[in-house]
A and B are shown apart, each in its own frame.
Chain A
Amino acid sequence: MASRALLDVRGVETYYGNIRALNGVNVAVNEGEIVALIGANGAGKSTLMMTIFGAPRARTGTITFGGNDITSLPTHEIARLRIAQSPEGRRIFPRMTVLENLQMGASLDNLKHFDEDAEKVFQLFPRLKERLSQRGGTLSGGEQQMLSIARALMARPKLLLLDEPSLGLAPLIVKQIFDAIRELNEKQGLTVFLVEQNAFGALKLATRGYVMVNGNVTMSGTGKELLANPEVRAAYLEGGRH
């Protein structure tokens, strides 16, 4: 099972100075899955996401992607193995236009497939096509999130990492974004690893899920199992459905 995993995180510990943020985390993402990682603020979800990308680096443990050990690769070389990320806070380029942002996403292949891929992205997020010559910083929050995902998709990733795509967005927009993720997964077979605080939405979307508490993965299971689990319900869901 583990050997077939596209992304395999084993026994990873990450430190910020002397403070341990990840406590020996084991997570696997198989090809074609949507895997959700849920947890409270400060549980280490985003740290895991960034550790996969090599910044900060894992002090112990190994991370493999498609059979390659990427634990100590520099960030840009990890990206070249076709892992794309829509980072926390979206991090689009605010003074560059939507078109230029997308071009930056496609810079790995030097824009070879740009037109074709852009068309696909516009089908997913028609709003971006309308905003093409507008600057990234002038987009609404939801549009910026769409742009962030679209930019990641332009690199033709094998694995898409999404860090809190629903952060600070209106419920309607969240639904649009989650629908888009599902469509990507079902139609294009894209593997997605998703970090979310919106546990309900994320688990409904996910094939499998992990629950993280204080730098440890405490529970895992299929999305449905976790949604039905009383502990998960008590800790993350009863506060109100998002």
Chain B
Amino acid sequence: MAEAVSTERVAANTNYATAIREALFAGAISFGLFVLLVGLKTDQNIRNELILVQRWGVLAILVLLTMAGRFAYVAYLQPTLAARAAARAKAPAVAVEPSALRKNWTKLAVLGLFLYPVVIVALVGLQGSLKWVDNFGIQILIYVMLAWGLNIVVGLAGLLDLGYVAFYAVGAYSYALLASEFGWSFWILLPAAGMMAAFWGVILGFPVLRLRGDYLAIVTLAFGEIIRLVIINWREVTNGSAGISGIPKVTFFGIFNFDVSSPHYIGKVLGIATSGAYYKIFLYYLILLLAMLTAFVTIRLRRMPVGRAWEALREDEIACRSLGINTTTTKLTAFATGAMFGGFAGSFFAARQGFVSPESFVFLESAIILAIVVLGGMGSLAGIAVAAVVMIGGTEILREMQFLKAVFGDGFTPELYRMLLFGLAMVIVMVWKPRGFVGSREPTAFLHERKAVSASFTKEGHG
């Protein structure tokens, strides 16, 4: 007995020793990394001379945080995780009946999304709701919709598209130009913009039919840039990099609108106070419906021959062809469908901003949308939605973190660190869930009952 206790104590001691050693290592590495990046900062003084600002305090905080984190991980978290894994290996596998909450998860989430503006208005009032509905609600839902659209191309059909933002741009400019030039309604131009984007999806699809993987990625990346450069340089039509402003707002099916000076302003029609929040709340429900349309179409298509062909195409193109599937039309429909939803989102974006310029359609946008799809788990709608909430919501929350200025000094602007957030999320998800947040693919055909197989059982290709 006494012996057992002493060995345990020895184990704990060596554990702490390793943890301290690892912490020192981590500290040294982070010091090496940050000494030039954080410790020294170039700045201009009053005479426009370049000076070096030394920030040893911030550097020390970062290094200490790294060391503390590493120490805690090695000394406490790792043994706990190992013990839990061992316990799980010992315990017999039991099929757990999913709880009611889990079964109706989707319905609850949709209900929550519909109630969100109501709750926000009730909590912080009409004027206070602006920020929450617009920055968090609408902004996140736009990205959810874009990522769901891209998911059709990347997640289902397996065609890596790095230029998705091009279709977003086509949709946005279609609405912006046609609405401000001819004064057509959003409800006519929304399908028109979608069709226009789908058309460009097919145009992109044709030359890249024979390409796969990295080659396809490069060509689609170039396509995205070409569209942006055309927008910048075709000044007579697009007004170049100055962009188009004064894009008409969406009306409520022509019954009333959100223009304060108009006789059909919602406040006058319904006899309520003037507020900018009505339009935002209306836009929130609009993008929510558009995103749900995307999800609905995706779910339906997956069960139809074309959707199944997309997924089969992702798995094995040669096998597909030998089963009599026309891979040309299959790829083109994937590009066109994905692009169409990009176009819808684009025209919504133009109507919401009231202003579009090429600045909004840079490669970074494509990268963010793709990152959301990958993080969420390619093909999984729920996973992608969660990833969009984390990534875009996280970015918005960084804006709210002004109190960090107290820690890092006045020059600290938290929203500049959003890329750091992306990187961190990528690393965390890829280490713990290499197939994305929701890695298991939901089967689309059942004989008797639904049975999902966890992703951990699906190592590809080997028997």
Contacts and interface: CB of A to CB of B under 8 A. Distances in A.
Interface of A: 53, 55, 74-77, 79-80, 84-85, 87, 91-97, 99-100, 103-105, 107-108, 110-111, 132-135, 137-144, 151, 155
A76 B308 contact: no
B316 A91 contact: yes
A141 B461 CA distance: 10
Given A91-B316, A93-B312, A137-B458, A132 B447 contact: yes
Contacts of B447: 99, 132-133
A135 B453 contact: yes
A107 B443 CA distance: 17
A94 B441 CA distance: 11
Given A99-B447, A140-B463, A107 B458 contact: no
A99 B457 contact: no
B459 interface: yes
B443 A53 contact: no
B319 A87 contact: yes
Contact of A133 (B309, B443, B458, B462): B443
A79 B320 CA distance: 10
Interface in B420-463: 441, 443-447, 451, 453, 457-463
A100 B444 contact: yes
Contact of A87 (B315, B322, B443, B458): B322
Nearest to A142: B463
Contacts of B457: 135, 138
A176 to B, nearest CB: 15
Contact of A79 (B309, B324, B443, B444): B324
B326 interface: yes
CB-CB nearest 8 A-B residue pairs: A79-B324, A141-B463, A93-B315, A91-B319, A75-B321, A94-B460, A108-B324, A85-B322
B327 interface: yes
B461 A137 contact: yes
Contacts of A104: 308-309, 312, 320, 323, 325
A96 B312 contact: yes
Given A93-B312, A95-B441, A138-B459, 10 more contacts: A76-B324, A76-B326, A91-B319, A93-B316, A94-B315, A97-B445, A99-B443, A99-B445, A104-B323, A138-B457
A143 B457 CA distance: 16
A235 to B, nearest CB: 30
Contact of A103 (B308, B322, B441): B308
Contacts of A138: 453, 457-459
9 contacts: A87-B318, A93-B311, A93-B315, A96-B311, A99-B445, A104-B323, A137-B459, A143-B463, A155-B323
A83 to B, nearest CB: 9
B98 interface: no
Contacts of B463: 139-144
